[in-house]
Structure 1
């Protein structure tokens, strides 16, 4: 089929009966610089994320994956690392005050592309089939101690303070007894202060995943020793994560 190309600003190229490509030349829009309105010289206080610690962690993970169809070969595995939980307890129960305990949970999202066997030529090793894919999530979690570059800032809540009032009009059940002198049971005054601290959070800086895929109980083909089929994989995975722990704190800056 002949292609249809028009020599104008709008081009239409007919690739096939089921696909067309339309393109248009866009004009360039001019921009005008804008001078920002900045703070005058002097001391300025800002609230910005401050780095508490930066750590590199190695996590060993073992997973067993069962495919929905028999595979003869793994073509490609695409991996992405996600964190689902990040909690830090800034108080460790030892003599050191500049470290805390970090709790991390997440998963590796894996997209596995594999070849299947649909038919084969009798008397030869020729095999035909489809390329399928399977997406799974391999969970992991760990706990580790981290050393702070800068300690997080936390204000502790105060203990309740109670004010008691004196009275000399308390009466006992005995009308002939002397009046009871002391605390007024009908009136109390309590003061309590609650501080709302900035919660530390985690940034995932880098993730490296190294793995070995082991075919579990493969079915061998005696006529073609190089071909085998399997449905189950055992994976030995090493996950290396670089994490940055931060907390929003007030910082004093000097505007130039």
Structure 2
């Protein structure tokens, strides 16, 4: 089924030939095409599962969860003179998350978390493109600007379940005895001791699961302060500025996880 909508000006009369705004014949402003989609039949599939009994799985385990409040101050300079901020859309992104799973201050079951990221802000604002002069009416365009406000912090987390790490072993070395070494003196006794020709080393390296962070929730509260605004006597209620200072409070809820082996019972 195809439906086309077209709008013409024939029913509304002809435009005045002296008016520049109506010099061109009106054309269709939009065309809409629709098509009905058929439903594809499906068939249920029974999943293949393991037999009942104990089983060991490797899954992400929550080792810590924390709520952090971060104060941030940023100064933003826009490319044109602004009359009014219409809307600001905000999103939080993390660019770095590192966990030191132990602290050296004697506190047990705690670690140090390093976080870095930024707030992506899309600012929509109104500008003045038509000079007002003595007229109180002002015209302009709606523009937008996307900026990134960086932040970073370090905090202590308390483990709900300690992360699992296995340390590498201390390198070990074996030495072999020999009595075959001779000195420069042919009359001297043979040299007894370590055989410098043979060496044996042993070392074990463990590859641990690296903890990672998930961003659960982000709450942003801010106040925008217009820096050095200007106005005139004809329109005292309208301010013009190019720079604003933002005081932001970011509240983040984070989960710290590590892939661990867990024994479960399949029913």
Q: Structure 2: how far apart are the matches of 1:14 and 1:56?
A: 56
Which residue of 2 is the match for residue 238 of structure 1?
249
Instruction: List aligned pairs for 1:1-256, cutoff 5 A.
Output: 9-14=1-6, 17-256=28-267
Contact 1:120 1:126 in 2 (8 A): no
User: Between Structure 1 and Structure 2, which shows a larger proportion of strand residues?
Assistant: 1
Q: Structure 2: how far apart are the matches of 1:101 and 1:252?
A: 29
Q: Structure 2: how far apart are the matches of 1:122 and 1:170?
A: 105
User: Structure 1 stretch 246-255 or stretch 219-228: which is displaced more?
Assistant: 219-228
Structure 1, residues 44-63: CA drift from partner, whole Å, max 9, x if none? 11000000111000000000
Name structure 2 gaps, 5 residues minimum: 8-26
Contact 1:14 1:21 in 2 (8 A): no
1:180 deviation in Å?
A: 1.1
User: Structure 1 stretch 74-83 or stretch 23-32: which is displaced more?
Assistant: 23-32
Which residue of 1 is the match for residue 24 of structure 2?
none
Q: Structure 1: how far apart are the matches of 2:126 and 2:197?
A: 82
Q: Structure 2: how far apart are the matches of 1:18 and 1:123?
A: 37
TM-score of the aligned structures, taking structure 2 as reference length? 0.90
Q: Structure 2: how far apart are the matches of 1:223 and 1:48?
A: 67
Q: Structure 2: how far apart are the matches of 1:53 and 1:167?
A: 56
1:173 deviation in Å?
A: 2.6
Q: Structure 1: how far apart are the matches of 2:228 and 2:221?
A: 23
Q: Structure 1: how far apart are the matches of 2:4 and 2:39?
A: 22
TM-score of the aligned structures, taking structure 1 as reference length? 0.93
Name structure 1 gaps, 5 residues minimum: 1-8
